[in-house]
A and B are shown apart, each in its own frame.
Chain A
Amino acid sequence: MSAKLSIRNVAKRFSGQDHQVNALSSVSFDVQAGEFLVLVGPSGCGKSTLLSIIAGLEKADSGEVLVDGIPVTRPGPDRALVFQDGALFPWLNVRKNVEFGLRQKGVTAGEASDRAIHFLEQVGLAKFAENALYTLSGGMRQRVAIARVLSLEPEVLLMDEPFSALDAITREDLYVEVQELWQNRGATIVFVTHNVREAVTLGDRVILLASDPGRIQLEVPVDILRPRHIDDVDVARTAQLLSQSMRQGRENILQEVWNDEQFTENDLLRGFDRLMGDYRQ
């Protein structure tokens, strides 16, 4: 099976007045159709830059992004993006925000309105359709942002830290909802976060990014049964392991441990011992 989305040797530099930032240096990975992929890494490691390149909002210095084998050249509704702050339009009410993209696609007003209501129902907000945005809480606004993007029925759904501005309780509700939406719709999702637990809660696979230069540090499959909750024991343990390797930055040793499917607590400890040994040298 060929990949839905391919990132091939993508590199990007930004030059400031006195220094250069290596935001991404030769990043490559594939995302399969229907996969829920999470990119996790400390802030400044190039996550947003990578999503912007996939979305077509920014150009890579080198390398390319392919959707179904076709190179991405500009932004489009097949790769809709959910922003951290929602980026909803305050001059439109809830329903018209969801309609916006549909209208741009040329869907007629009546049809767009029906579809907007349908997707607002999916996120539990149909009865707020005629509300002004400022009457909604942060969590409700992010749901609107998700409905707006789902209504475009994108090939790939891109999400850039969509929940990081929300309180913990709202966030946990949304973890459940997003997993349900994803399972029901069979969407392909690329989700970005700096929160390792969030990554493990949501992803089929987690790619850990390291910064300066932005690059892939570690890639791990997550096989924990769904629906997952952020305080499931398995989630917590896997997340802890990932955080450790993020801090220590010695990807190879941990990758070995991960690849050994039967790993035990002892293997892990041995792995970390070797890691620490490396450090002391």
Chain B
Amino acid sequence: MLFPSPYRVGSTLIQEFRDGSLLNATAISLRRVLLGYSISLVIGVPLGIVLARVKFVEDTLGSLVSAFQSLPSICWLPLALLWFGLNDRAILFVVVAGSLVSIAIAVQDGVKNLSPTYVRAALTMGTPSWRIYTHVLLPASLPSILTGAKLGWGYAWRALMSGELLFVSLGLGQMLMQGRELADMSQVLSVMAVIMGLGLLTDRLIFGSLERHVRRRWGLAGA
């Protein structure tokens, strides 16, 4: 049998839900991705702004960042395993490596395309140049920060899943592999459905509404 019936996948889902294994795995995966993703945002956003504004940093780090972006995040896993061993920190590293650079690059692009009048206006109102970063560039580039955040979320999630698939650990990735080992197609499909559902939910509910709100406020609606 190539595919189990939707009914069987559904009942497997309910059963996994009841015995707690699904919630447990989801919680573990979500905690990992949220942690890694937060680290990526906290470092990636300022890095992107600095890359766009400081010529010296762009000259030195710019091509390195672009090179890293072309590296699929799972390629970091062997290195991460050597550094950290077979544990959560290795997974975390892969998640950060997968999302940080894409966030930084999206933010860099956004800041580069900002209208220079924001900065000029702030300067004529006596804003010291260091405060331009926090009071002008950061809020002004919020639309591109959101783009980067959305992109980075996708990368972080994918990096996590490939990491969890490749080495034994708890989480949704492992539950998928377990399904394969037990040749339990309905378990595999039910976990895949949960992963897709989570992706859809964050995209629509969180990023979708944030983006709509910001685009309208920034006068970009329909643009």
| Chain A complexes with chain B | yes
Residues of A within 8 A of B (CB): 52, 55-57, 75-77, 79-81, 83, 85, 87-92, 100-101, 104-105, 132-134, 148, 152
Nearest B-chain residue to A84, judged by Cβ: B117
Apart from the given pairs A105-B126, A152-B125, 17 other A-B contacts in the complex at a CB distance below 8 Å: A56-B124, A75-B123, A81-B124, A85-B115, A87-B118, A88-B121, A89-B140, A90-B219, A91-B218, A101-B125, A104-B126, A104-B131, A132-B217, A134-B217, A134-B219, A134-B221, A148-B125
Decide: A76 near B219, CB < 8 A? Known: A87-B117, A89-B139, A89-B140: no
From residue 81 to 129 of chain B, which have CB atoms closer than 8 A to chain A? 115, 117-118, 120-128
Nearest B-chain residue to A154, judged by Cβ: B124
Q: Please indicate the chain B residues that have their CB under 8 angstroms from the CB of A105 in the complex.
A: 126
Chain B proximity of A87: nearest CB distance (Å): 4
In contact, B118 and A89 (Cβ under 8 angstroms): yes
In contact, A101 and B140 (Cβ under 8 angstroms): no
Query: Closest 5 interchain pairs by CB?
Result: A101-B125, A87-B121, A87-B117, A91-B139, A77-B126
In contact, B217 and A87 (Cβ under 8 angstroms): no
Offer 6 A-B interface pairs, CB within 8 angstroms, sorted by A: A77-B126, A79-B124, A81-B120, A83-B121, A91-B217, A100-B122
Taken together as a complex, chains A and B put the C-alpha atoms of A165 and B88 apart, in Å, by 57
Q: Please indicate the chain A residues that have their CB under 8 angstroms from the CB of B216 in the complex.
A: 134
Taken together as a complex, chains A and B put the C-alpha atoms of A90 and B115 apart, in Å, by 12
Q: Please indicate the chain B residues that have their CB under 8 angstroms from the CB of A88 in the complex.
A: 121
In contact, B139 and A80 (Cβ under 8 angstroms): no
Q: Please indicate the chain A residues that have their CB under 8 angstroms from the CB of B125 in the complex.
A: 77, 80, 100-101, 104, 148, 152
Nearest A-chain residue to B141, judged by Cβ: A91
Is B136 close to A, CB under 8 A? yes
Q: Please indicate the chain A residues that have their CB under 8 angstroms from the CB of B142 in the complex.
A: 91
B40-71 CB mask vs A (1 if < 8 Å, else 0) is 00000000000000000000000000000000
Q: Please indicate the chain A residues that have their CB under 8 angstroms from the CB of B219 in the complex.
A: 90, 133-134
Interface of B is mostly: helix
Chain B proximity of A179: nearest CB distance (Å): 23
Chain B proximity of A85: nearest CB distance (Å): 7
From residue 207 to 221 of chain B, which have CB atoms closer than 8 A to chain A? 216-219, 221
Taken together as a complex, chains A and B put the C-alpha atoms of A256 and B221 apart, in Å, by 54
Q: Please indicate the chain A residues that have their CB under 8 angstroms from the CB of B126 in the complex.
A: 75-77, 101, 104-105, 152
Please tell me the number of chain B residues within 8 Å of chain A, measured between CB atoms. 23
Chain A proximity of B52: nearest CB distance (Å): 18
In contact, A57 and B140 (Cβ under 8 angstroms): no
Taken together as a complex, chains A and B put the C-alpha atoms of A90 and B114 apart, in Å, by 13
Q: Please indicate the chain A residues that have their CB under 8 angstroms from the CB of B121 in the complex.
A: 81, 83, 87-89
Taken together as a complex, chains A and B put the C-alpha atoms of A85 and B121 apart, in Å, by 11
Taken together as a complex, chains A and B put the C-alpha atoms of A89 and B141 apart, in Å, by 11
Most buried by A among B115, B117, B126, B136: B126
Q: Please indicate the chain A residues that have their CB under 8 angstroms from the CB of B122 in the complex.
A: 100, 104
Taken together as a complex, chains A and B put the C-alpha atoms of A88 and B216 apart, in Å, by 15
Q: Please indicate the chain B residues that have their CB under 8 angstroms from the CB of A52 in the complex.
A: 120
Q: Please indicate the chain B residues that have their CB under 8 angstroms from the CB of A104 in the complex.
A: 122, 125-128, 131
Chain B proximity of A50: nearest CB distance (Å): 15
Taken together as a complex, chains A and B put the C-alpha atoms of A92 and B140 apart, in Å, by 10
Nearest B-chain residue to A83, judged by Cβ: B117
Chain B proximity of A159: nearest CB distance (Å): 12
Taken together as a complex, chains A and B put the C-alpha atoms of A76 and B123 apart, in Å, by 7
Taken together as a complex, chains A and B put the C-alpha atoms of A85 and B142 apart, in Å, by 20
Taken together as a complex, chains A and B put the C-alpha atoms of A76 and B121 apart, in Å, by 10
In contact, B124 and A55 (Cβ under 8 angstroms): yes
Q: Please indicate the chain A residues that have their CB under 8 angstroms from the CB of B139 in the complex.
A: 89, 91-92
Question: Which of B120, B128, B221 contacts A87, CB < 8 Å?
Answer: B120
B140-179 CB mask vs A (1 if < 8 Å, else 0) is 1010000000000000000000000000000000000000
Chain B proximity of A192: nearest CB distance (Å): 14
Taken together as a complex, chains A and B put the C-alpha atoms of A57 and B216 apart, in Å, by 30
Q: Please indicate the chain A residues that have their CB under 8 angstroms from the CB of B218 in the complex.
A: 90-91
Taken together as a complex, chains A and B put the C-alpha atoms of A81 and B218 apart, in Å, by 22
Nearest B-chain residue to A79, judged by Cβ: B124
In contact, B118 and A77 (Cβ under 8 angstroms): no
Taken together as a complex, chains A and B put the C-alpha atoms of A204 and B140 apart, in Å, by 38
Chain A proximity of B108: nearest CB distance (Å): 19
Question: Which of B124, B131, B136 contacts A75, CB < 8 Å?
Answer: B124
In contact, B117 and A77 (Cβ under 8 angstroms): no
Q: Please indicate the chain A residues that have their CB under 8 angstroms from the CB of B131 in the complex.
A: 104
Nearest B-chain residue to A74, judged by Cβ: B123
B169-205 CB mask vs A (1 if < 8 Å, else 0) is 0000000000000000000000000000000000000
